[in-house]
Structure 1
Amino acid sequence: MELEQIMQPENIVYEKTKILTDKPMHYCPGCSHGVVHKLIAEVIEELGIQEKTIGVAPVGCSVFMYNYLNIDWTEAAHGRAPAVATGIKRLLPDRYVFTYQGDGDLAAIGTAETIHACNRGENIVIVFINNGIYGMTGGQMAPTTIKGMKTSTCPFGRESSQDGNPIKMTELVAHLEGTRYVTRQSVHTAGNVRKTKKALLKAFKNQEENKGTSFVEVVSTCNSGWKMTPVKANEWMEEYMFPFYPLGDIKDI
C-alpha cells in the first residue's frame, strides 16, 4: 500500500478525542492519571455530552484536570467533591456530573462526604484513583496504603498495630443502599484499559437513567512516590495491590 493511501482519513484507526486539550500533562512519566483522563474524555465524546458535562476536581494530583478536558469544571475543597457535585446535580439535574478523586482525598479528609453522598444515592459518578499513597504532597501513608508498604511516613512499612488497617472504600460504599454500580478496575494493560472504559461508560449511562451513585475505583501506580520505574511499579501493583484490592464489579443492580 502506498504511503499516500495509508495517510488518507478513511484509513485512520485511532484519533485523539477532541475532548482532550493539547496542553501537555504535568503528571510523572508512567502515571495512571493521563490514561484515565483519556478514557473519561472518550466516553464523554462517544455519548455526545460535552456541553452537558461538569467535572469536579478537588485537591491532589488531579487538581489541574481542568487543563486537560474541554468541559465545564469546578474545583472543590480537599475531600468535598461529592458534596459540591451533589449541589451541582440537584440544581442542574440535566447535567452529567462526576468527581475525580485520589485516595488521600476521597478516603481520608473526604470520607464523610463520600459515604453520605453514596448513601443518599446522589445521581453522580465518582471516579476514585487509588495508588495507596499521597502522591502530590511527598508520598505519605494514605488510608489505602496496604500492610508492609513503605511510604515517607512509614519508611519500614505499614504496621496495623501502629498505623491501623488499610480501608477498602469500594467494598464499603457497595454496602450502601444508594449505590447502584460499584466496580474496581485498572489501566496497566491494554485489556484492563478497555475494561475500565467500559466501566466508565456504564457509570455515565447509569446517571443518564437516574439510577443513583456509580462508583468507579481505578487501582493505580505512583512510580515517583513508590520510588520505582513505571515497569516495576506495574509489576509491584500486580503482585501486592491486586490481592488486597481485587479487580472486577462488586455491585451492579
Structure 2
Amino acid sequence: MAKDLLTPKLVSELNRFCPGCGHGLIGKIIAQVLEERGVEDRAIQVYAVGCSCLISTVVQADSIQAQHGRAPAVASGVRRARPDAVVYTYQGDGDAAAIGLSESLYAAYRNENYTAIFVNNGVFGMTGGQMAPTTLEGQKTATSIYGRDTSVTGQPFKLAELVAQMPVAYVERCSLTDAKHIAQTKRAIGKAFDNQLAGKGYSFIEILSPCPTNWKMEPVDAYKRLQDIVAGEYKLGVLKDSEEE
C-alpha cells in the first residue's frame, strides 16, 4: 500500500544546520510523529542552548527556550501547568549531560510525564567543537587536541544507562546511521510520545548523530564513523521498558 511521504506541515523550509548534521532529520521525524498522532497543535518543545536551539527553525511547534541545561526543569513546569499539552525537551549532549546533568537526572527521578530527546554527537557543537562528556577516548576536539585522555577526564558518559536506573517509563538509544536505524528512531520517538499521552511518565530517547563540521569530516565519512565507531561505544537498543518489567 502506498504511503504519503510529503514533508510534515510542521517542518519549515528553513534549515540552519550544517550540511550532513542529523538535527534536521530528527526534527522531521518529531514532526511526523506528532502529526501522525494528531497532537501537533498541543505540542510544546523546550530547548536550551547549543545547536539544539535551532530546532525551532525546523519544527514549527510552540517553543520555549530555557537557560543552558535547564530544559528539563522548564518542561516539568510546563507539563504540570498544562496537563493537556504534549511536551518534549530537545537537547544536545553538552547541554543535557554536562551543564544540565542535575536537571536531567532529577526529571527522570521524578518520572515527569514528558518526552526527553537527547542528541549525542560527542562534542559541544555550536561553541566550536569542544570536548563533551560523551566524547570518545582518543577523540580530538578543540579542547583535547591530542585526543581525549580518559585517565584524566574519565570515560565517555552514558546518560541513557544512568536514566534507565530511575523509575521511568522508557529508555532507548537509537542512531541515524542508515534507513533501518532512522526507522527505528522514529518508532522509539513514537513510543515515547505514546507513553506521555497515556500518562505513563518519563521517556528518554538518545539519538547518536554525526557532527561533520566539528569532526572535520565529509558527511558520508561522518555517518560511517557513527556506525563503525560511535555505535560500538554506545550500544543501541532498549535499555528500559516499564511495560516489560
TM-score by length of 1: 0.93
Would you say 1:245 and 2:234 are equivalent positions?
yes
Displacement of 1:66 in angstroms is 1.8
Q: Which residue of 2 aligns with 1:208?
A: 197
**Residue 21 (structure 1) shift:** 1.8
Deviates more, 1:118-127 or 1:149-158: 149-158
SS in 2 for 1:64: helix
Whole-angstrom distance in 1 between the partners of 2:99 and 2:213:
23
Q: Is the 8 A contact 2:177 2:226 kept in 1?
A: no
Is 1:64 the counterpart of 2:54? The answer is: yes
Residue 58 of structure 1 and its aligned partner are, at CA, apart by 0.6
Deviation by residue 1:87-131 (Cα, 9 ceiling, x = unmatched): 000001111100000000000000000000000000010000000
Distance, in Å, in 1 between the alignment partners of 2:55 and 2:132 is: 21
- Bigger drift between 35-44 and 153-162 goes to 153-162
Give the match for residue 169 of structure 1. Answer: 159
| CA distance in structure 2 between the partners assigned to 1:175 and 1:116 by the alignment | 12
Aligned counterpart, 1:154: 144
Deviation string, structure 1 residues 151-198 (Cα, Å, up to 9, x no partner): 111111111122222110000000011x11000001121111110000
Q: Which runs of 5+ in 1 are unaligned?
A: 1-10
| Gap runs ≥5 in structure 2 | none
Out of 23, 29, 50, the residue aligned to residue 33 of structure 1 is 23
**Is 2:8 aligned against 1:17?**
yes
Deviation at 1:68, TM superposition (A): 2.0
* Alignment partner of 2:216 out of 204, 227, 245: 227
SS in 2 for 1:104: helix
Give the structure 2 partner of residue 76 of structure 1: 66
The alpha-carbon distance between structure 1 residues 123 and 146, as it changes in their structure 2 partners (threshold 3 A), is same
Shift of 1:45: 0.5
Instruction: Encode CA deviations 1:176-226: one digit per residue, 9 max, x unaligned.
Output: 11x110000011211111100000010000001111100000011101000
Give deviations 1:55-90, integer Å, cap 9, x for gaps.
001101021222222211110000000000000000
Cα distance in 2 for partners of 1:50, 1:156 equals 45
SS of 1:150 mapped into structure 2: coil
- Is residue 177–residue 224 contact of structure 2 (8 Å, CA) maintained in 1? no
Greater mean deviation of Cα atoms: 189-198 or 59-68: 59-68
TM-score by length of 2: 0.96
Aligned residue for 2:171?
A: 182
Instruction: Report the alpha carbon displacement of residue 12 of structure 1 after superposing the two structures with TM.
Output: 7.5
- CA-atom RMSD, angstroms? 1.3
Q: Secondary structure at the match of 1:51?
A: helix
Larger Rg: 1
1:13 CA drift (Å): 4.2
Aligned with residue 139 of structure 1, among 129, 134, 148: 129
User: Could you tell me how far apart the structure 2 residues matched to 1:235 and 1:133 are?
Assistant: 17
Q: C-alpha displacement at 1:234, in angstroms?
A: 1.1
Q: Percent identity?
A: 46
